[in-house]
């Protein structure tokens, strides 16, 4: 299996996030990438460092003003009086505000509110560089898959599946899986499926492809009635416009074990088979683990190995993009078990 990783991903080092009214250390730290590299070494897989994604490449799924914000926000933020070390909004525009004004405020605080969905995506001086590096890994994986018909793993950090076309959220800034899916389309795949097995719903990916019928989006995740992203990820969300029927959410009850999770994965894979895509993008998260610090599900190492076997059974050209998973003590083991099951 071809592997892509870039050292600049460690330039993003967020300090905290707000949860249930408390400031907590941020779980999306550079040590995650180091742990995943240990898993790759256990499989004797070496990585190639591709070029970071260009602005033009990221524009395939993201808006220009949003990318401007990601690139410039840290610089503009430190110019504020008494600014903290990271860009974190103190207001988000409400629907009432947007309905009553057509003005676009260029102040960095206003842009932070408009271009972030929550307080879990602080922006520091290395964030854009790291996000572009992660996106470059996803694009390189898609290019390899398109050229070879095989499989590739992109060690994407920060992750991406919560990022919308113009809004960051949930530790995510650039939607790596969406970029990979669009790149596969651009390289000749008539239909692409995105299968997301992170324990959180892939809301950004769903949003980007919501009204498109050429990309199927499937997400297996913990019940959003009790879990991030709270407002979307429910079974009745099936896509809109030309994308009606091309979105499938498979939310699971808290504490769901291997058998339940793997059964839902099989349901998702059945939808992929029915869609008959030319290529697959897998959003691979390990936060479904029973040992996850903020877990909703209870998947074991064996469960992840069996999931790898199951996804491989689709026999599709597959670009695997790393998403969540925050227990750095076990991340490497989980990656090794999944990729081992996949046949890496």
Q: How many residues does the structure list for the chain?
A: 344
| Cα distances (Å, whole numbers) of residue 172 to 26, 51, 176, 310 | 13, 20, 9, 27
The order of strands in the sheet holding 215-222 is 2-4, 151-154, 318-322, 279-284, 192-196, 215-222, 247-252
Indicate if 161 belongs to the active site: no
CA 128 to chain centre: 15
Asked if residues 185 and 278 have their Cβ atoms less than 8 Å apart, the reply is: no
Whole-number Å distance between alpha carbons of 113 and 278 = 38
- Which of 321, 268, 269, 261 has the alpha carbon at shortest distance from 290? 261
Please pick, among 162, 200, 201, 221, the residue that the annotation labels catalytic.
162
Asked if residues 167 and 78 have their Cβ atoms less than 8 Å apart, the reply is: no
If DSSP codes are grouped into helix, strand and coil, which group holds residue 164?
A: coil
Whole-number Å distance between alpha carbons of 320 and 325 = 15
Strands 16-19 and 22-25: antiparallel
Asked if residues 331 and 28 have their Cβ atoms less than 8 Å apart, the reply is: no
Whole-number Å distance between alpha carbons of 170 and 159 = 9
Whole-number Å distance between alpha carbons of 122 and 24 = 13
Whole-number Å distance between alpha carbons of 307 and 311 = 6
Strands 247-252 and 215-222: parallel
Q: What DSSP element (H or E) covers 272?
A: helix 258-275
Catalytic residues: 162
């Amino acid at each position: 299996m071809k592997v892509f990783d870039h050292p600049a991903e460690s330039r993003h080092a967020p300090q905290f996030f707000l949860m249930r009214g408390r400031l907590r250390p941020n779980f999306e730290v550079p040590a995650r990438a180091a742990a995943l590299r240990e898993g790759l070494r256990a499989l004797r897989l070496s990585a190639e460092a591709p070029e970071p994604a260009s602005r033009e490449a990221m524009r395939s799924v993201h808006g220009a003003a949003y990318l401007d914000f990601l690139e410039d926000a840290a610089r503009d933020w430190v110019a504020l009086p008494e600014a903290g070390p990271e860009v974190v909004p103190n207001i988000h525009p409400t629907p009432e505000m947007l309905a009553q004004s057509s003005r676009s405020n260029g102040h960095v605080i206003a842009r932070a509110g408009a271009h972030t969905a929550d307080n879990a995506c602080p922006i520091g001086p290395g964030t854009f560089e790291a996000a572009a590096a992660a996106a470059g890994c996803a694009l390189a994986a898609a290019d390899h898959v398109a050229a070879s018909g095989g499989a590739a793993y992109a060690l994407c950090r920060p992750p991406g599946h919560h990022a919308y076309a113009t809004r960051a959220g949930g530790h995510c800034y650039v939607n790596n899986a969406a970029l990979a899916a669009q790149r596969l389309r651009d390289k000749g795949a008539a239909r692409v499926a995105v299968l997301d097995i992170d324990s959180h719903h892939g809301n950004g990916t769903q949003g980007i492809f919501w009204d498109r019928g050429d990309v199927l989006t499937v997400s297996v995740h913990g019940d959003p009635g009790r879990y991030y992203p709270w407002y979307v990820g429910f079974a009745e969300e099936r896509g809109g416009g030309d994308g009606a029927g091309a979105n499938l959410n498979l939310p699971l009850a808290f504490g769901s074990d291997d058998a339940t999770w793997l059964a839902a994965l099989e349901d998702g894979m059945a939808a992929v088979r029915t869609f008959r895509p030319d290529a697959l993008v897998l959003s691979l998260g390990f936060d479904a683990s029973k040992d996850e610090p903020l877990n909703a599900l209870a998947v074991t190492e064996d469960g992840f190995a069996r999931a790898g076997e199951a996804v491989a059974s689709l026999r599709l050209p597959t670009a695997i993009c790393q998403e969540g998973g925050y227990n750095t003590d076990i991340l490497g083991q989980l990656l090794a078990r999944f990729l081992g099951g996949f046949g890496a």
